[in-house]
Chains A and B, each alone.
Chain A
Amino acid sequence: KAGVTQTPRYLIKTRGQQVTLSCSPISGHRSVSWYQQTPGQGLQFLFEYFSETQRNKGNFPGRFSGRQFSNSRSEMNVSTLELGDSALYLCASSPDRGDGQPQHFGDGTRLSIL
């Protein structure tokens, strides 16, 4: 069974640009969550999607948005990039809502802002 796949693995952008990151969950998993990891703030929750609906959102500005498709694949978009957006962005999937199953993470997308 394939794991969580995130593309691309690395991205370099400049301030003001926008970026889209992609996440393909484990087959059969309907919940997809996104996290930002930085040395200073650690791992912080961005949002969660389930059945194409956002049902949880962290404390990030509106520049961070996402969506989920009918096949459970998810994309995350960041507009008007800032230097502070440089981070490892991780995606996690799980089978269903709050059913106590572990979450499985991808290897992340490393985003660098110049």
Chain B
Amino acid sequence: KQEVTQIPAALSVPEGENLVLNCSFTDSAIYNLQWFRQDPGKGLTSLLLIQSSQREQTSGRLNASLDKSSGRSTLYIAASQPGDSATYLCAVSLIKAAGNKLTFGGGTRVLVKP
């Protein structure tokens, strides 16, 4: 059974500092890994998707890396801003035949202080 863990559960940093969010998974037979952002009372916003054949993906200040062999992914957010305050979730989908089922980590709640 696939298990996804995100540590720490909460993180507080001053504005301008780089954020490093960690995600680990137990089954390396993933199809892809997706990072999401969730604001209070809202749904999930997709940030980055990394296919199992890729090592990293970048979008603006965001960079996500994937190491399948060690079962880890890291989301880097450069030069954090107060608007980056949210909960960040990672989710993996298994082999293609498993359809679109996502297994989520518990999330990391981020607070960026002005």
Contacts and interface: CB of A to CB of B under 8 A. Distances in A.
Interface of A: 4, 6, 31, 33, 35, 42-45, 48, 50, 55-56, 58, 90, 92, 94, 97-108, 110
Contact of A107 (B36, B43, B89): B43
B44 A33 contact: no
Interface of B: 31-32, 34, 36, 41-46, 49, 51, 89, 91, 93, 95-107
17 contacts: A31-B100, A35-B104, A42-B105, A43-B102, A48-B100, A50-B100, A55-B99, A90-B43, A97-B96, A98-B95, A99-B96, A101-B49, A102-B34, A103-B46, A105-B36, A105-B43, A105-B46
A100 B36 CA distance: 15
Contacts of A102: 34, 46, 49
Nearest to A33: B100
The A interface, classified by DSSP as helix, strand, loop or mixed, is: strand
Given A33-B101, A33-B102, A45-B102, A103 B34 contact: yes
Query: What 3 A-B pairs are tightest by C-beta distance, nearest first?
Result: A98-B96, A43-B104, A105-B44
Contact of B49 (A33, A44, A100): A100
